[in-house]
């Protein structure tokens, strides 16, 4: 029962807060998309989507996998009241990502004419890529700060930043801009400005919420362990000596697996941009945005579940970890099912909200929705692997998924356009989740997706 399981109560409370912000944030995101498509058309929507691809590639490299690493270690050491460790890890991660992301930003800015000409075969994309490149550094810092707050269990602050902040500001600015000026550069420019503003707010919230007032001292220099099975550290009066090498040894596998996961999200858009028109990209990107509603509950539950996975694993409590994972998966299933049914039945009508030309994407939307439904009901398998020290396995699965996705997209997009891209994404999502789910079963001794009524021993927070 919920009353007897404090971890489930915390999961529901945290997920409820995140869900509320996610709903509002998605609402503003759809307002932004509708304003864009209704006033600028499918072509500009496609340009905007391709610009976001460039942004994502830049930020993936720029953050060096530090977003997942900072979440994992802030959650672990904050739960042990090791504020010194949290503070030092945070500062060193910031010092690592700033020069790298700045170099990436400058590189993309000056190489944008070559990227647009030789890669996408669309010279007019160059200036859009330059605008979005300016936002890479603030966006990387925004992500690091957001995940740091998440590790502290500051769920309201994290949920606002990650789920709502940028879309909220961008939709308001885009709406206001329509009364002043209408230019094809406006949507990308507004999104870049929104990233700057939210980055500043993320720093303010981090320094406000992280109180470095721990009375805990440290006995001798420590290094990060890549395995959370042995979290015991001794204490004394010397500061932690955490080398950049130690941090990178943990973050690099997370960079690879995390970046591969993000790459999977825009491989199809990128290959569509190479072979097809910007209008096709625009229609497909709207279908992707709509299908993501199915995994709304997965995204919101992961906000609180991911740091809890790290806590359970640090304590050696596999039983408790499996229990909370199963509870969260049941919630995801029952909340995703009605959304899945609605999107499949009313796909054409929903797409027409963005313009009459968008209804041609209904088959793609149905396939994408099915793939996301499988993704949702498989549970938080990716986070479980990363929070329990099996990031190398996750990396290998993601690499195989990327290869499968690229091959399918290259084979199918030239002939089947957006429907080929959607089919490739659906197959990849199913492969990725089933293989990770099997590995999690081997680690924890049971499947995450289970309707078994067995209740494990009650946990105390």
Residue 146 to residue 71: CA distance in whole angstroms: 9
Is 170 within the bounds of a domain? Answer: yes
Is 453 within the bounds of a domain? Answer: no
CB 296 within 8 A of CB 26: yes
Number of H helices, E strands in the chain: 16, 0
pLDDT score for 322: 84
This prediction has a pTM of: 0.74
- Host domain of residue 338: 2-208+244-444
What CA dihedral angle connects 403, 406, 408 and 412, to 10 degrees? -170
CB 242 within 8 A of CB 88: yes
Residue 286 to residue 149: CA distance in whole angstroms: 30
CB 150 within 8 A of CB 73: no
Unique residue bearing structure tokens 């945005």: 289
pLDDT score for 11: 62
> What is Dmax (Cα atoms) for the chain?
68
Residue 340 to residue 173: CA distance in whole angstroms: 32
CB 116 within 8 A of CB 122: yes
Is 217 within the bounds of a domain? Answer: no
Q: How many domains does the chain have?
A: 1
pLDDT score for 452: 56
CB 408 within 8 A of CB 424: yes
Is 231 within the bounds of a domain? Answer: no
First to last CA, the chain: 16
Is 172 within the bounds of a domain? Answer: yes
Residue 142 to residue 136: CA distance in whole angstroms: 10
pLDDT score for 229: 42
Unique residue bearing structure tokens 């406006």: 186
Is 203 within the bounds of a domain? Answer: yes
For every residue of the chain, which 3-state class applies, written as one string? CHHHCHHHHHHHHHHHHHHHHHHHHHHHHHHHHHHHHHHHHHHHHHHHHHHHHHHHHHHHHHHCCHHHHHHHHHHHHHHCCCHHHHHHHHHHHHHHHHHHHHHHHHHHHHHHHHHHHHHCCCHHHHHHHHHHHCCHHHHHHHHHHHHHHHHCCCHHHHHHHHHHHHHHHHHHHHHHHCCCCCCCCHHHHHHHHHHHHHHHHHHHHHHHHCCCCCCCCCCCCCCCCCCCCCCCCCCCCCCCCCCHHHHHHHHHHHHHHHHHHHHHHHHHHHHHHHHCCHHHHHHHHHHHHHHHHHHHHHHHHHHHHHHHHHHHHHCCCHHHHHHHHHHHHHHHHHHHHHHHHHHHHCHHHHHHHHCHHHHHHHHHHHHHHHHHHHHHHCCCHHHHHHHCCCHHHHHHHHHHHHHHHHHHHHHHHHHHHHHHHHHHHHHHHHHHHHHHHHHHHHHHCCCCCCCCCCCCCCCCC
Phi and psi based region of residue 63 (left: phi greater than 0; alpha: psi -120 to 50; beta: remaining):
alpha
Unique residue bearing structure tokens 């700060």: 145
- Helix 6-63 and helix 136-151, axial crossing angle in degrees, nearest 10: 160
- Average confidence (pLDDT) per 10 residues, the chain, 461 residues: 53 66 87 93 93 92 84 80 82 91 96 93 94 97 92 84 91 95 94 97 88 48 46 38 74 71 82 91 92 82 72 79 83 89 93 88 95 88 80 84 94 95 95 91 81 47 39
pLDDT score for 461: 39
Is 9 within the bounds of a domain? Answer: yes
Which token pair is 251?
Answer: 């973050």
């Amino acid at each position: 029962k919920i009353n007897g399981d404090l971890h489930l109560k915390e999961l529901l409370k945290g997920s409820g807060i995140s869900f509320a912000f996610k709903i509002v944030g998605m609402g503003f995101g759809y307002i932004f998309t509708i304003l864009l498509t209704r006033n600028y058309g499918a072509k500009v929507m496609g340009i905007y989507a391709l610009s976001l691809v460039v942004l994502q590639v830049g930020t993936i490299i720029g953050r060096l996998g530090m977003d997942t690493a900072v979440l994992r270690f802030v959650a672990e050491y904050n739960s042990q009241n090791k504020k010194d460790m949290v503070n030092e890890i945070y500062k060193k991660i910031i010092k690592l990502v700033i020069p790298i992301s700045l170099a990436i930003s400058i590189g993309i800015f000056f190489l944008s004419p070559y990227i647009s000409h030789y890669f996408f075969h669309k010279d007019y994309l160059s200036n859009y890529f330059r605008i979005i490149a300016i936002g890479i550094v603030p966006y990387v810092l925004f992500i690091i700060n957001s995940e740091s707050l998440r590790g502290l269990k500051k769920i309201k602050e994290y949920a606002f930043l990650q789920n709502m902040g940028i879309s909220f500001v961008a939709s308001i600015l885009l709406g206001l801009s329509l009364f002043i000026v209408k230019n094809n550069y406006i949507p990308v420019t507004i999104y870049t400005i929104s990233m700057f503003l939210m980055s500043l707010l993320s720093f303010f919230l981090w320094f406000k919420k992280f109180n470095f007032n721990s009375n805990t001292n440290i006995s001798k220099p420590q290094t990060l362990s890549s395995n959370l099975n042995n979290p015991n550290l001794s204490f004394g009066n010397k500061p932690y000596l955490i080398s950049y090498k130690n941090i990178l040894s943990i973050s690099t596998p997370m960079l690879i697996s995390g970046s591969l996961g993000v790459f999977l999200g825009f491989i199809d858009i990128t290959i569509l941009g190479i072979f097809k028109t910007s209008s096709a990209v625009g229609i497909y990107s709207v279908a992707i945005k709509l299908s993501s509603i199915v995994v709304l509950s997965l995204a919101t539950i992961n906000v609180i579940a991911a740091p809890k996975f790290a806590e359970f694993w640090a304590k050696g409590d596999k039983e408790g970890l499996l229990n909370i994972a199963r509870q969260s998966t049941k919630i995801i299933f029952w909340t995703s099912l009605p959304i899945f049914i609605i999107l499949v039945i009313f796909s054409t009508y929903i797409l027409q909200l963005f313009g009459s030309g968008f209804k041609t994407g209904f088959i793609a939307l149905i396939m994408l929705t099915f793939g996301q439904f499988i993704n949702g009901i498989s549970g938080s398998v990716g986070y479980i692997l990363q929070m329990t020290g099996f990031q190398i396995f996750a990396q290998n699965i993601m690499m195989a998924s990327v290869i499968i996705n690229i091959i399918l997209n290259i084979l199918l997009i030239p002939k089947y356009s957006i429907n080929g891209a959607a089919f490739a994404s659906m197959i990849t999502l199913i492969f990725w989740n089933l293989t990770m789910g099997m590995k999690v079963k081997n680690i924890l001794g049971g499947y995450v997706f289970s309707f078994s009524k067995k209740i494990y021993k009650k946990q105390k927070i």
